[in-house]
Structures are given as structure tokens and as C-alpha cells.
Amino acid sequence: MAEEQPPIYIIKKIVKGGGHHGGAWKVAYADFVTAMMAFFMVLWLLSSSEEVQKSVGGYFSDPEGSGKMIGTTQSGAGGESISIAANDMDKLKDKLEQAMKETPQFQKVKEQVKMIVTGEGLRVELLESDVGTFFESGSPAPTEKATMLLGTLAQEIGKLPNKVFIEGHTDAKPFTGDYGNWELSSDRANTARRVMQMYGVRQDQVAQVRGFSDQSLRVADNPADPSNRRISIIIKYLDAPPAKAKKADEKKDAGHGEHKAEEKKDEHAKPEPAKPAAGH
């Protein structure tokens, strides 16, 4: 009797779908996302101001950040202020003027706010009026307008690496009692410092607070002029001032020398004493 052969089974595997193609698609997708990100960065740069473009270009030219003339070196200084060169006082002047124009009630006091670029830096002066615009009469207490303007200036100046000097000046009207023009000018300058540090100026940014009394009159021909009572904020250059600023200072010094020569000729003439008046 013949032995029965076991049945033969043929198993066929049916593969459904495309199967595994590896990770090449991931690399392609990553390249696509990177290209899109670079594309949007280019669009952002094209729509940004010229100063921002220079700042970004300066970073790639000098990644260590040693160049001071391309934006500020102050870390965390956001906004357009990073694009202002630390020694470009003309651009800083324009920016501060624009910031103050956006401040409520600035139109009422704009004639009493003066800005000028000097050999020291940018000088911002708040000039008093007959009615005491920025300080109470004969007092270092600031008015609401003074707090508003000093706060606006502080928010912009605090973003810069530059040092700041704050000066107080009075007119030649004398006080009665122990409290005089020296105390008043120093106290008003110190009040301005406190207000500005409350609104953004850093503790280590104010290098000097100076009181000049009536020794540096703005209107020398009229010692009692209200504009002699003022607060001066000087934003110092980081490096040496530009040549044009130095030349302006030299001309100013030459002018002072001429005045001194004229004074020497009339040194025997007896000056008329100034009549004292009350009110600061």
C-alpha cells in the first residue's frame, strides 16, 4: 500500500499600500520650512526702516557686537532705539522730539523745550515761564507737565548706553532766609533725576547732578528773565564728539575770549547793582 503524500500548501503574501520609503521626505520637508522662514525674514527686512537694516547687517558683519556705531550696545534695548548710533545726536534729537510730540499737552509747552547739539552731547532744556510751568514757584516740587515730559524723555534715554548729566539753573533773583539759589538749583536737578529714574533712566546712567544757581545765565543781559530758570539734561557722547561739534565749541570759546578782552578794558567802570526781586 502506497504511502499518502502530505498536501503541499502555497502561501502568497499580499502587500497592501506603498510600503516604507525611508526618511528622505523628512529632510525635504525641513529644507522647505527653512526656505520659507528665510523668505519671510527677507520680506520683514525689506519692509523695515533703513536703520534696522543697518543694525541687522552690522550684527552679521560683527557678531561679537564690538562695533558701537551700528545701533547701541545696550542689551535689551528694544524698538527703534537700537538703530540710533550712540554718537549720532542729530538722529537722537529727532527721535526725542517725535516722542514728545505724542505726549498730551506738549503743544502748550513746546516753546519752552529746547534741544541743541553741543560739544558735550545733546542738551535738552526745560525753560521756566512767569507762571512756573515745570516747578512750583520757589520750590523743587515738579508740576504735572514736568513729570510728563521728564517721563517721556526718560523712556527713550533709558534705552541708550550714554551717560547723562542733569543741571539745575536759576535766575538772579535772591531769596530771603537760609534757602537760596544754590539749594534751589541743586534740589530741582535732583528732583529731575528722581523722576527720570522712575520712568526708565538706569541707576548707573546718571553720571552727575549739578546745581549752578545763577552762575550760568541763559539770558545774560536780563538776569531776571524766567528762562534763566531751567533744567538741562545732557546726553553725553560715548566717544569723542564729531569734529563739527569741536569747531563749534572753539568758536564759542573764541567769542568768550573777545568778551573777556572787552571786560578788561572797562574793568575800572563801576557796574550798576541789580535790583533784587522776589519769586522763582
pLDDT at 253 over 70: no
CATH topology of domain 88-255: 60s Ribosomal Protein L30; Chain: A; (3.30.1330)
**Which residues are CB-contacts of 142 (< 8 A; sequence separation ≥ 6)?**
134, 135, 150, 191, 192, 195
pLDDT at 275 over 60: no
Mean pLDDT of 169-197: 92
Question: Quick check: pTM over 0.75?
Answer: no
Maximum Cα–Cα distance across the chain: 159
Question: Dihedral of CA 234/236/240/241: which sign?
Answer: negative
Please give the residue that has the higher pLDDT: either 242 or 29: 29
How many Cβ atoms are within 10 Å of 53's Cβ, its own excluded? 13
Grid coordinates in use for 161?
548706553
Domain ranges of the chain: 88-255
* Full DSSP string of 52-107: HHHHHHHHHH-TT---SSSS---TT--GGGGGS-TT-HHHHHHHHHHHHHTSTTHH
Could you tell me the pLDDT band of residue 234, with boundaries at 50, 70 and 90?
Answer: very high
What is the Cα gyration radius of the chain?
34
Rounded to whole angstroms, the Cα distance separating 53 from 191 reads 39
- pLDDT, tens only, 209-233: 999 999 999 999 999 999 999 999 9
Give the E-state strand segments of 108-267 in sequence order. Answer: 113-117, 121-127, 164-169, 206-211, 230-236
Burial pattern 155-179, b for ≥16 Cβ within 10 A else e, equals bbbbbbebbbbbbbbbbbbebeeee
pLDDT at 235: 94
Residue 156 Ramachandran class (φ > 0 left, ψ -120 to 50 alpha, else beta): alpha
Q: Which residue has the cell 574793568?
A: 267
